[in-house]
Amino acid sequence: MRPAPTILHLDMDAFYASAEQAAKPSLRGKAVVVGGLGPRGVVATASYEARLLGVHSAMPTAQARRLAPNAAYLVPRFRLYRSVSEQVMELLGRLSPLVEPLSLDEAFVDLEAGGVADDSASARTAGERLRTAIRAVTGLSGSVGLAGSKMLAKIASEQAKPDGLVLIEPGTERELLAPMPVRTLPGVGPATGDHLRRAGMTTVHDLAEAGEAELVRLVGKAHGHGLYRMALGLDDRPVVAERDAKSVSVEDTFDVDLHDRVRVRAEVERLAVRCVERLRSADRSGRTVVLKVRRYDFSTLTRSETLRGPTDDPTVVREAAARLLEAVDTTGGVRLLGVGVTGLADFTQEDLFAQAADAKKLAERSEAPEQPVADEAGQGGGPAEEEPEREAAEQLAARRWPAGHDVRHALHGHGWVQGSGVGRVTVRFEEPGGPVGRVLTFRTDDPELTPADPLPLVRDPVDYSSWPASLPKSRSGPVSATGGESRP
């Protein structure tokens, strides 16, 4: 007996870019690209308007700029995205106790475990109501796939994009999968896909016809067995509610290789503080500090130090990362730095004792007099030190006013950074749900202009505290052959 289509996969539509369009009235309906903006930056998300111009995720930002020179290029605002994600995940949690988040904008839900669906009709109703609730609470759209397994539910949500719902009826799985390329199946990447293509298999139908024995011969026993089952539409992986993070980390790729050792250490310490902020936001502590260094020649070094006990003290993590850096040769330049914490745990009283012991050790070390840093000529404080300091100051100013981030002016109110450079920052003053705002330019050191927190995308969201029982059904479009809404 085929399982009922009660596994739901939600995927928010162009999440980062859609959130930026909702927050910035002047960007509605326009091409928006979110990601790293430097020469080595990579696109994180592109709006559907930008995708029509050929821009897509994981593309180098420089290439995106050539394809869409008039698009708005913005630095990610993860505080906003996490806030919206929490709203969405709360709605999912009201549907079922079995919610498996995959990222900020994507999750599986077992509707049957929540008692809200046990057949196609009830599953469709739950999916439609979910989409209605998400739009009312966040102002954004999400695409929903419904099927009897996680694999098929994810395929269905891809077919539903953007802003749709597709339900795969039991018994139609093989017919649906047959013409799809082999890369559609989970675990089939470029290398495996090329290997199968050389063997004459380009569609899922080809895999099913080849048989299990042939697939085992081609890709190995473990992978071949699973691949054959998926080609038949079979996937019995359960929705797992708890996915405990094994580590917390942050990293930065620099537009220009860092050569100054003092600057490298300053960046490591800054990353350590950011890492601890993430650690604390997750109410966790960690025992092992990890440093990642990618050098000018793309060689990557990883060093780690295990502390006496778990900690979330920024001083402890910062000093441990600095000690790890001392053992790394950065001659020739550094293009990427990262700091992470592994061995995560919930805080306990024993953690505090270990942390105090580490802090005491660090305090004793800091009492030793520091040696002056000499330049290449052997003299401290010479002109060779001034250039790195100027460069650091310029990059610090750029970091303070990243494109797309929120600001507040004492006179003009809330706005967002359109761009900065040459001692100036340009701001558009507008808010979510309001009219398109005006643009003004200020000095980067204007005392009346300060960074600000993101505003909610929906000012007065509908109260969904009684979700899902009280939700009205959404108005569906015409039903497609696969059971979803048809989209133009």
- Sequence ranges of the binding site for Mg(2+): 11, 105
Given 106, 173, 269, 431, which residue is catalytic?
106
Q: How far apart are CA 146 and CA 165, in angstroms?
A: 8
Q: Which long-range contacts (CB under 8 A, 24 or more apart) does 249-252 make?
A: 249/275, 249/290, 249/292, 249/338, 249/339, 249/340, 249/341, 250/274, 250/275, 250/278, 250/338, 250/339, 250/340, 251/292, 251/336, 251/337, 251/338, 251/339, 252/336, 252/337, 252/338
**CA separation, residue 128 to residues 84, 123, 145, 291, 485 (Å):** 19, 9, 11, 45, 10
8-state DSSP, 25: G
Q: Quick one: tokens of 326?
A: 């001392």
Q: Quick one: tokens of 168?
A: 């795969």
Q: Given the structure tokens 């759209």, which residue do they identify? A: 141
Q: How far apart are CA 146 and CA 126, in angstroms?
A: 10
Q: Quick one: tokens of 291?
A: 């440093």
Burial of 34 per CB tally in 10 Å (0-12, 13-18, 19+): buried
Decide if 106 is catalytic.
yes
Q: How far apart are CA 68 and CA 51, in angstroms?
A: 9
With contact defined as beta carbons under 8 Å apart, do 61 and 36 qualify? yes
The residue among 136, 131, 20 whose CA lies nearest residue 416 is 20
Q: How far apart are CA 165 and CA 206, in angstroms?
A: 28
Three-state secondary-structure class, residue 337: strand
With contact defined as beta carbons under 8 Å apart, do 271 and 339 qualify? yes
The residue among 63, 155, 47, 71 whose CA lies nearest residue 108 is 155
Backbone conformation region of residue 461, classed left if phi is above 0, alpha if psi is from -120 to 50, else beta: beta
Q: How far apart are CA 124 and CA 9, in angstroms?
A: 12
> Which residues have CB under 8 Å from 375's CB, separation 6+?
381, 382, 383, 384, 385
Q: Given the structure tokens 């927190």, which residue do they identify? A: 453
With contact defined as beta carbons under 8 Å apart, do 475 and 481 qualify? no
Q: What angle do CA 348, 354, 358 make, to 5 degrees?
A: 140
Q: Per 3-state DSSP, what percentage of the chain is helix, strand, and coil (rounded to 5)?
A: 40, 25, 35
Query: Where in the sequence numbering do the catalytic residues fall?
Result: 106
